[in-house]
Amino acid sequence: MDNEELTEQETALYDRQIRVWGVDAQRRLSKSHILVSGMKGTVVEFCKNIVLAGVGSLTLMDDRMVTEDSLSANFLIPPVDDVFRGKSLAEVCCDALRDFNPMVQVSVQKGDLSSFDGDFYDKFSAVVVSCCSLATKRLINEKCRKRQKRIAFYTVDCRDSCGEIFVDLQNYTYAQKRLDETIECQLQYPSFEEAVAVRWSTLPRRLSKLYFAMRVIENFEEAEGRKAGETSIADLPRILKLKKELCEEQSLNESHIPDALLERLLIGTKEHPPVCAIIGGILGQEVIKAISGKGDPLKNFFFFDALDGKGIIEDIGSISTGN
Amino acid sequence: MGSEQQLEVIKSAKVLMVGAGGIGCELLKTLALSGFQDIHIIDMDTIEVSNLNRQFLFRQSHVGQSKAKVAREAVLRFRPNINITPYHANVKGPEFNVDFFKQFNVVLNGLDNLDARRHVNRLCLAADVPLVESGTTGFLGQVTVHVKGKTECYECQPKPTPKSYPVCTITSTPSKFVHCIVWAKDLLFAKLFGDKSQGNDLNVRSSDGASSSENAEDAFERRADEDVEQYGRRIYDHVFGYNIEMALGNEETWKNRNRPKPIYSCDVLPENLSYQNGTLEKDCPNGDSSLVSAMASLGLKNPQDIWSLLENTRIFLEALKLFFVKREKDIGNLIFDKDDQLAVEIVTAAANIRAASFGIPLHSLFEAKGIAGNIVHAVATTNAIIAGLIVIEAIKVLHGDTNRYRMTYCVEHPARKMLLMPVEPFEPNKACYVCSETPLTLEVNTSRSKLRDIVEKIVKNKLGMNLPLIMHGSALLYEVGDDLEEVEVANYEANLEKVLAELPSPVTGGTVLTVEDLQQEFTCSINIKHREEFDEEKEPDGMLLSGWTQPPTTEKDNDPTLANKESTSSAAQTAVVEVDEVEIVLPSVRVDIGGAKRKLSDISSAATSAATGVVDATHSSRKPEEIEDDDNDVVVMIDGGNLGANKKKRVQ
């Protein structure tokens, strides 16, 4: 590693976490640059976590204006009109996040995520997208994958009391510690496109039902030309119809996607704050792992449902899947 | 999930949070966002710089202020219309009695020590208020639910108690760096700068106490007009040279051990070099004694560096000098504090010099500080996740959704694909001395031990009582409280010094004592059993308490794993958890993943010592079982450790 030392200020501030991940990891964190898009509750939780951890910089994207709705699971926005009037979500969040850790550069990037060229992404070590369409997820993931340097890519979504994280670290090498030995470990991640293209009938029987349910809703939004999250309980009949079609097409027994689960995901349009904290926490941890090269990263989906309380990792679309 | 009805229950709930630290900040935020409107929060601490990396409601400008109050203000900024009542106070204070607890629908703990946890557990039992308990360390965490009569209480499972070391390991035969730290901190530092009236084992060496220095006590006094440099060298030579020589004289001790090497200051640092040692005038211009630093005056910057013996020697002498020159007023009443830079420096240097003498690897100040200060690993993410899980359980508790209560473990390495693993809670342990009032047995030499020994070592230390009252039949032997008459106080004081068998109402074999804590509204009976002899090493208390679920025996009792080492989190079998916001006990679970047996998260479990920063690799005799439910999902069951071998008990 390089020989740069942490400053006294950094050592004092980060003392407790350096005891968890070490000085090298802290140094790598301080040189990393993170891009997030879609400032909803879960992403806000994530931003708080990595600003506290001490990344080098954090760039926020979300040009939507602040509304009553956006306050619901967001602790960065005071419900005072003159604080957020005329400002975008990203701008209001930026002001508040800066305050959390003066050593992290927090800024806003305006514009539409999918309109940027590939080289825009070169600045970043990790890109996290939320509240975006299936097409945008695919597009950004592909742009990141085409760059020379490895850019970690994540998607995160919360609906009702459920959450999903997708991770693409491309070709990732890290030091895995087991007992007293350290083994060099290599992981090959599939792209988002590759992962969701896996035929459902070939997936393990006990795969998280949330995986299928999220894909059905995503496909529905795509087919209808809706924005991410722009669905409601009124869409249920048509979504159930789409589920049936997809299951037939993919040769999957319909019982793997309970109607009640889809109904829950449609009713609960607002994020459930405890779930935001949990998903934002897991995502924060994963980004820290990927940047520091310490700890086993999750591959490649994570699901949490507050109803059963399980936080499950699924590996979907890897070359070895189905073995 | 987020129905109107649910929101109503949340809005009308009155909740008590104990702790506004790492978990507390996250919890208060998540409660407020979730719609809770009446939150009371107790925390006695003030904000420190090292909190700011995770306690996100606090800023640099808040350092020194009450955590509970600042946390309240920070949350009101984004939820101005809710009620948050802060108490900058100790939860063990008399104002937080059973009646106080009774006003709440649920109590949520985000604490950092066993003592307070046990206290809150008892108050919740007495007030019949559900408790959601939590803890994190590094990437590990857990949330448990305790509802009287329905699930086990916090104390139904034995809790690992702080690790203590045999005195002679510390004074004569250290074999690990932690032994050197304990020596430097609890003996040397206390001797040099602490309360002189306190007993101190510094000069105790193996078993030859009598033959050693007759003027040992005087050796630490600075003589009139003695130059502070000379004094420093004399102390140095006494503790690292002379005392080691003396110890070497006892051949028996070194038969199967490596002989230590005496170290004298002039061998490491010749006298004529002494004055290169720092410039006093440079530092602390404004007289702030907390800024005095031997590292600064010697130009050593990186706390991660491991100093040479020469550097340690210089730091030791310089720090000692600085104490006398810059902080003379503190001398005589100092207690080691991990946030006192100069104290950490001298303890690090002394521990390292002793380590060098005994052939033990030296450590950096950063590491030494972690061990000496029992500093726990802590990151924001785990606290956020655990706080989220606490709120989910709290909402179930408010709905009385008993069948869905879960204990949840947040693990570092997934088991059965799970990073967050819910487990059904256990029934109350019928042998629990706290929630089932099972009598305890105390073996003690009734013609030698004093009542004070029972009060201090058993009633306060082991049973965690705060304001105890001890009765033999209807005779009161001991009581504390503000409302006592002077005569009574004197009477009880006198009893404390009496041998058990000679008390006004003599306590002998067969006696049943009733011990009660009026604040905790907790009573238990202790059957006294007389026993003549106790093993000094294994039973240092000179008594043995039993009759409830015994703490599981440690596999390697003399092999404590150091806390605070970076490698611990991945350490495996005897892993190691140590604890941030708490002591945490994770179960060891075997899970079947694709046919391959694998140990859950490599965690066996662990315990932390509040006193020494050391973790015991004990405590995981829980065996998991799996049951298939109708949904083809698998629920992992963890059986209660000593509850009764293979009986699986579930809450219905």
Q: Tens digits of per-residue pLDDT, B476-491? A: 999 988 788 888 889 9
Per-residue pLDDT, B358: 95
What share of residues in chain B are helix, strand, coil (percent, to 5)?
35, 15, 45
Q: What are B492-547's pLDDT values in tens digits?
A: 999 999 999 999 999 998 899 999 998 888 998 999 999 988 887 778 788 888 87
Positive or negative torsion for Cα B594, B598, B600, B602: negative
For residues B210 and B328, state if they share a domain: yes
Point out the least confidently predicted range of A88-92, B63-67, B610-614, B626-630. B610-614
Whether residue B613 contacts residue B370, with contact meaning beta carbons closer than 8 Å, is answered with yes
Rg (CA), chain A: 20
Give the closest residue to B435 by CA, choosing from B308, B322, B549, B544: B549
B347 and B481 together in one domain = no
Cβ(A156)–Cβ(A168) under 8 Å?
no
Mean pLDDT over B247-261 rounds to: 87
A272:B572 CB<8 A: no
Q: Do residues B71 and B90 touch, judged by C-beta distance below 8 A?
A: no
Do residues A81 and A57 lie in contact, with contact meaning Cβ atoms separated by under 8 Å? Answer: no
* Structural domain boundaries enclosing B444: 440-546
Flag whether B533 is in a domain: yes
Of the candidates B530, B527, B479, the residue with the CA atom closest to the CA atom of residue B500: B530
* B418 with A264: Cβ contact below 8 A: no
* Lowest pLDDT segment from B3-17, B38-52, B434-448, B602-616: B602-616
Are residues A206 and B33, on separate chains, in Cβ contact within 8 Å? no
* pLDDT score at A204: 92
Shared-domain flag, residues B315 and B202: yes
Which of A77, A99, A272 has the CB atom closest to B78's CB atom? A77
Which pLDDT band holds residue B379 (cuts at 50, 70, 90)? confident
Nearest Cα of chain A lies from the Cα of B207 at a distance, in angstroms, of: 38
Chain A CB contacts of B1 below 8 Å: 160-161, 264, 268, 272, 306-307
pLDDT of B15 reads 98
Verify whether the Cβ–Cβ distance A16 to B54 is below 8 Å: yes
Report yes or no on B572 lying in a domain.
Answer: no
Among B148-162, B286-300, B509-523, the least confident range: B286-300
Q: What is the pLDDT of residue B18?
A: 97
Q: Which chain B residues are within 8 Å of A304, Cβ to Cβ?
A: 420
The pLDDT tens digits of the residues spanning A298-323 come to 999 999 999 999 999 999 998 654 43
pLDDT at residue B3 in the model = 66
- Bridge partners, B444 (sequence order): B530, B543
Give residue-wise pLDDT tens across range A77-115.
988 877 778 889 999 999 999 999 999 999 999 999 989
Q: Which of A17, A73, A309 sits opposite B378 (nearest CB)?
A: A17
Closest-CA residue in chain B for A75?
A: B78
Q: For tokens 């926020």, what's the residue?
A: A60
Average pLDDT in chain B: 79
Rounded to a whole number of angstroms, the distance between the first and last alpha carbons of chain A is 38
Q: What does B301-344 look like in DSSP terms, one character per residue?
A: --TTSPPPHHHHHHHHHHHHHHHHHH-GGGTTS----TT-HHHH
With CA atoms as reference, the chain A residue closest to B370 would be A19
What's the CA gap between B27 and A177, in Å, rounded? 32
User: B549 falls in which pLDDT band (50, 70, 90)?
Assistant: low
Instruction: Note whether B375 contacts A19, CB cutoff 8 Å.
Output: yes
My answer on whether B304 and B187 are in the same domain is yes
Q: DSSP assignment, residue B163?
A: P
Last residue of a domain, one of B494, B524, B546: B546
Contacts of B302 in chain A (CB under 8 A): 5
Pick A310's closest partner by Cβ from B413, B420, B572. Answer: B420
What is the average pLDDT across B238-254? 89
CB neighbour list of residue B261: distance below 8 Å, 6 or more residues apart: B244, B356, B357, B359
Residue B221, in any domain of the structure? yes
Q: Of the given ranges (A43-57, A158-172, B285-299, B314-328), which has the lowest mean pLDDT?
A: B285-299
Q: Tell which of B53, B81, B132 to mutate to test the A interface (max A CBs under 10 Å).
A: B53
Q: Is the CB of residue B421 less than 8 Å away from at least one CB of chain A?
A: yes
Q: Which residues of B are annotated as a binding site?
A: 19-24, 43, 51-54, 67, 112-117, 153, 156, 432, 435
ipTM above 0.90, yes or no: yes
Confidence of residue B548 (pLDDT cuts 50, 70, 90): low
The yes-or-no verdict on residue A21 having pLDDT over 90 is no
Q: Provide the pLDDT for residue B615.
A: 29
Set of chain B residues whose Cβ sits within 8 Å of the Cβ of A101 = 52
pLDDT value at B323 more than 70: yes
Q: Is B384 within 8 Å of chain A by CB?
A: yes
CATH, residue B501: 3.10.290.20
Paired strand residues for B410: B141, B420
| Sequence-distant (≥ 6) Cβ neighbours of residue B68 within 8 angstroms | B20, B41, B42, B43, B86, B87, B88
Nearest neighbour of A20 by CB, restricted to B29, B377, B410? B377
Confidence grade of residue A4 (pLDDT, cut at 50, 70, 90): low
Q: Return residues 481-500 of B near A (CB < 8 Å).
A: none
**Chain B residues 130-169 within an 8 A CB cutoff of chain A:** 138-139
Assess B74–A contact: CB distance below 8 Å, yes or no. Answer: no
Please tell me which residue of chain B has the smallest CA distance to A285: B381
CA distance B9 to B399: 7
* A1 confidence band (pLDDT: 50, 70, 90): very low
* Answer CATH for A8-194+271-314 from 3.40.50.1970, 1.10.10.10, 3.30.450.80, 3.40.50.720: 3.40.50.720
Confidence band of B81 (pLDDT split at 50, 70, 90)? very high
B371: nearest CA partner in chain A: A19
- How sure is the predictor about B290, in pLDDT bands with cuts at 50, 70 and 90? low
What's the mean pLDDT when you consider all of chain A?
A: 91
Give burial (CB, 10 Å; 0-12/13-18/19+) of B619: buried
Most confident of B265-279, B307-321, B545-559, B618-632: B307-321
Give the model's pLDDT for residue B272. Answer: 62
Are residue B381 and residue B301 in the same domain, yes or no?
A: no
From chain B, pick out residues whose CB is under 8 angstroms from the CB of A282.
381, 385, 419-420
Tens of pLDDT, residue by residue over A244-262, are 999 999 999 999 999 999 9
**B380: pLDDT strictly greater than 80:** yes
CA angle, A35 then A38 then A42, to 5°: 95
Within 10 angstroms of residue B333's Cβ, the number of other Cβ atoms is 10
Query: Does residue B26 register a pLDDT over 70?
Result: yes
Q: Please tell me the distance in Å from B571's CA to the nearest CA on chain A.
A: 5
Q: B25, B124, B168, B266: which one is catalytic?
A: B168
Mean pLDDT (whole number) for B169-194: 91
Q: What is the pLDDT of residue B624?
A: 37
Q: B147 and B110 share a domain?
A: yes
User: How confident is the model over A62-67, as a mean pLDDT?
Assistant: 91
Contacts for B37 with CB less than 8 Å, ≥ 6 apart: B10, B11, B12, B81, B82, B83
Q: Is the pLDDT of residue B597 over 80?
A: no
The answer to whether B301 faces chain A, any CB pair under 8 Å, is yes
Identify the band that residue A240 occupies on the pLDDT scale cut at 50, 70 and 90. very high
Residues B13, B117, single domain; the answer is yes
Pairwise CA distance, residues B82 & B13, whole Å: 12
**Closest Cα in chain B, distance from residue A285 (Å):** 6
Indicate yes or no: CB of B385 within 8 angstroms of CB of A277: yes
pLDDT band for position B203 (cuts 50, 70, 90):
low
Question: What's the mean pLDDT in B60-71?
Answer: 95
B2/A16 Cβ within 8 A = no
Whether residue B442 has pLDDT greater than 80: yes
Residue B573: list chain A partners with CB under 8 A: 179
How do residues A160-212 score in pLDDT, each as one tens digit?
899 999 999 999 998 887 777 888 889 999 999 999 999 999 999 889 999 99
- What letter represents residue A176's amino acid? Q
Among B496, B521, B546, identify where a domain stops: B546
Confidence of residue B139 (pLDDT cuts 50, 70, 90): confident
Residue of B23, B33, B57, B604 to mutate, testing the A interface (most A Cβ within 10 Å of its Cβ): B33
The CATH number covering residue B21 comes to: 3.40.50.720
Cross-chain residue pair B569–A20, CB shorter than 8 Å: yes
Show which of B327, B359, B391 is a domain's final residue.
Answer: B359
Chain B, residues 613-632, CB within 8 A of chain A, namely 632
B541 shares a domain with B459:
yes
The pLDDT value recorded for residue A70 is: 81
Nearest-angstrom CA–CA distance, A255 and A246? 13
Is the same domain home to B400 and B515? no
pLDDT at B596 over 60: no
A91 CB neighbour count, 10 Å cutoff: 18
CB-CB neighbors (< 8 A) of A298 in chain B: 414, 419
Give yes or no: B168 in active site: yes
Residues of chain A found within 8 Å of residue B381, distances taken between Cβ atoms: 49, 53, 281-282, 284-285, 288
- Is B599 a member of any domain? no
Highest mean pLDDT of the ranges A49-63, B447-461, B520-534: A49-63
pLDDT of residue B466: 86
| Nearest C-alpha in B relative to A258 | B631
* pLDDT recorded at residue A6: 78
In a domain? residue B560: no
Does pLDDT of B570 surpass 80?
no
CA distance A244 to chain B (A): 21
Identify the band that residue B291 occupies on the pLDDT scale cut at 50, 70 and 90.
confident
Closest residue of B to A283, CA-based? B381
Q: What are the domain boundaries of chain A?
A: 8-194+271-314, 199-267
For residue B143, the chain A residue with the least C-alpha distance is: A309
Same domain, B61 and B182: no
Domain count, chain B: 3
Residue B181 and residue B155 in one domain: no
**Which residue of B32, B139, B572 is in closest CB contact with A178?**
B572
Least confident of A97-101, B250-254, B486-490, B621-625: B621-625
In chain B, whose CA is at the least distance from the CA of A77?
B78
Q: Is residue B591 part of a domain?
A: no
For the segment A6-25, the average pLDDT, to the nearest whole number, is: 84
Residue B554 DSSP class? P
On whether residue B606 sits in a domain, the answer given is no
pLDDT band at B588 (very low <50, low <70, confident <90, very high): very low
Indicate yes or no: CB of A306 within 8 angstroms of CB of B406: no
Candidates A106, A177, A278, A305: best to mutate against B (most CBs of B within 10 A) is A278
In the structure encoding, which two tokens stand for residue A166, read together? 């997708």
Instruction: Confirm whether B445 is domain-assigned.
Output: yes
Predicted local distance difference test score (pLDDT) of residue B196: 76
- Please judge whether A178 and B570 are an interchain contact, meaning their C-beta atoms are less than 8 angstroms apart: yes
**Rounded distance, CA B269 to CA B264, Å?**
9
Comparing B381 with B587, the larger pLDDT belongs to B381
